[in-house]
Amino acid sequence: MTTLILGQILPFAADPFAVPPTQAATHDARGAVAIDGGRILGQGAVDTMRTAHPGATEIDHGDGLILPGFVDAHVHYPQTAMIASWGKRLIDWLNTYTFPEESRFGDTAYASEIAGRYLDLVLACGTTSVASYCTIHPGSVDALFEAAQARGMAVWAGKTCMDRNAPATLRDDPQSAYDDSRALLLRWHGKGRARYVITPRFSPTSTPDQLSALGALWAEHPECLMQTHLSEQLDEIAWVRDLFPQARDYLDTYEAHGLLGANGLYGHAIHLEPRERDRLAEVGAALVHCPTSNTFIGSGLFDMGLTGTVRVGLATDTGGGSSFSMLRTMAAAYEVAQLRGQALHPAQLLWLATEGSARALQAQDEVGTLAAGSAADLVVLNLASTPAIAQRSTRAGDIWEAVFPTIMMGDDRAVAQVYVAGRPVKAGD
C-alpha cells in the first residue's frame, strides 16, 4: 500500500560543489514523499502527490524536514564501546584502546551484542546506512550483517585484515586473509541489502604479501568496494615510508599491490602528496572525510577543495570519531573547513551526509537520495528540537538558515523519525 510521508522536503538535483549551493536543491515547505514496497515512488508538493496517489495512507510530520537517511561512509563498529577514550595519537591510541577491544570479537556473542547496539545508536541519530570495518574474526562480519538484516538496513562491511604490527590475537596471514574474505564475500555480498567490502586496515599492519593477496581478491571481484586508510597522520606516513622504502608515497603501497581503483574508499587522506592527489583523481577513487576523528586524535585538517576532482564522502569514524551522529559530523566538517578558509554551505553539508557519501560508496541509486526508485530510507528532522535551536530557526529567512542551527547544534533530539525501507523505526508512528 502506498504511503505519503508529509513534511518539508529538500530534494537535490545537482552536486552543490559543482553548482551554486542554493541552486542544487529545491525546497517545498509542504511536500510529500510517496513510498511503497520499501521504495520511493516519487516526491513533490502535497497536492500533486495526493493527486498522483489517491487513497494513499498519510503520515504527517508537520514542519519536519524529510531527508534521505544519513549515510556514514567510514566506521569501525567494533570500537563502539570504547568511543571517547582519552587523547592519544593514532598509533598509541590503536595499541592502548583499539586492539584490546577488537580482540574481544572472537566471542561471537559479544560481537552480536555490539553490532546490535551500534546499529541502534546510529539509527537513533538518523543514520540508515554505514560502511564498517569489522575485526579479523569472520564472526564479527556475520554479526554486523545479521544485525543489519534484522533491521532492514543497507550495510557495507568487511573483515579487517592484519598480519603484522598488531597483537597475536588480531593477526591473520596472507592466505587466511584471502580465504576468510572470499568466503565472507561469497556468503554475504548481494544478499538482501548486504554488501561486502575488501578491508586491509592500512599498510602498516599488512605485509606486502597480504596486500597482494587482497589485491588479487579484488581483481577477482571488482564489483566489490575496497576500503582502507590513507595519510591520516604525519607520523603514520613516516612509519609507512620506513616499512615500504621502495614506494613513491603512501598511496603507492596500495597501488603496487592492486589496491587502487574506482571502487576504492580511502579514509582520511589529509596529508596527500601532489602525485597522490593526481592518481586518486585519475582512477576515480573516493575519499572519506572523518572530521570529528581528525580533530579528536589530532590528525589534521582535510582539504574540501578535493571535491573538485574526486568523490568525497563524510563519516563519523566511530570510535576514533567522538560521536555517532552525522549532524555532529556535519558541524565538525564545517568547523574544519573554516580553519582552512573554506566556508561550507548547509546544502553542501547535507549533501555530503547523504548523496555525497552514497556516491562514495557507488550506491547513489540505492541510498542517499529522494529519487524515485531509491530505497525508502528517510530521516525526519525537527528544526526546533531545543530552545536554543528553536529561537535561532524562527529568525531564518530561508530553508538554509532554518536548517543550519540544527546542523551545528542538533543531536538525536532533532531526529523526529527514521524510516528504513519504508518502515518507521522510532516509537510513535
**Range 70-360 has CATH code 3.20.20.140:** yes
Fold of the domain built from segment(s) 3-68+371-424? Urease, subunit C; domain 1 (2.30.40)
Task: Give the Cα separation of 260 and 277 in Å (integer).
Answer: 13
- Selection from 39, 44, 49 nearest residue 10 by Cα: 44
Q: Which of 202, 317, 310 is nearest to 262 (CA)?
A: 310
Flag whether the pTM goes above 0.85. yes
CATH 2.30.40.10 domain residues, the chain: 3-68+371-424
- Closest C-alpha to 287, from 325, 298, 9, 271: 271
Grid cell digits, residue 5: 510521508
Rounded to whole angstroms, the Cα distance separating 308 from 100 reads 39
Do the Cβ atoms of 161 and 200 come closer than 8 Å?
Answer: yes
pLDDT of 85 reads 84
| Helix (H) or strand (E) run with residue 115 in it | helix 108-124
Contacts of residue 172, defined as CB under 8 A and 6 or more positions apart, other chains included, come to 136, 161, 162, 163, 180, 210
Nearest to 211 by CA among 223, 199, 220: 199
Q: What rounded mean pLDDT belongs to the chain? A: 96
Cα(116)–Cα(74) distance, integer angstroms: 18
Query: Any idea what DSSP says for residue 375?
Result: B
The helix or strand, by DSSP H or E, that contains position 11, with its residue range, turns out to be none
pLDDT of residue 361: 98
Residue 20's identity, in one-letter code, is P
Mapped onto helix, strand or coil, the DSSP state of residue 313 is strand
Alpha carbon 329 to chain centroid, angstroms: 10
End-to-end CA distance of the chain: 16
Please report the pLDDT score of residue 412 as a whole number.
96
Q: What is the pLDDT of residue 428?
A: 58
pLDDT of res. 93 = 80
Packing angle, helices 138-151 and 174-188, rounded to 10: 20
For 396-410, the pLDDT digits (tens) are 999 999 999 999 999
φ, ψ of residue 329 to 5 degrees: the values are -70, -40
Query: In this structure, how many other beta carbons lie within 10 angstroms of the beta carbon of residue 310?
Result: 18
Q: Which residue ranges of the chain lie beneath pLDDT 70?
A: 87, 428-429
Quick count: other Cβ atoms within 10 Å of Cβ 306? 18
CA–CA separation, 294 and 310 (whole Å):
20
**What is the reported pLDDT for 91?**
79
Of 285, 261, 276, the closest CA to residue 359 belongs to 285
pLDDT tens for residues 367-390?
999 999 999 999 999 999 999 999
Indicate the pairing of strand 160-161 with strand 154-158: unpaired
* Whole-angstrom distance, CA of residue 411 vs CA of residue 124: 10
Neighbours of 173 (CB within 10 A): 16
Q: Longest C-alpha distance within the chain, in Å? A: 68
C-alpha atoms less than 13 angstroms from C-alpha of 282 in its C-beta half-sphere: 9
State CA 196 to chain mean position distance. Answer: 15
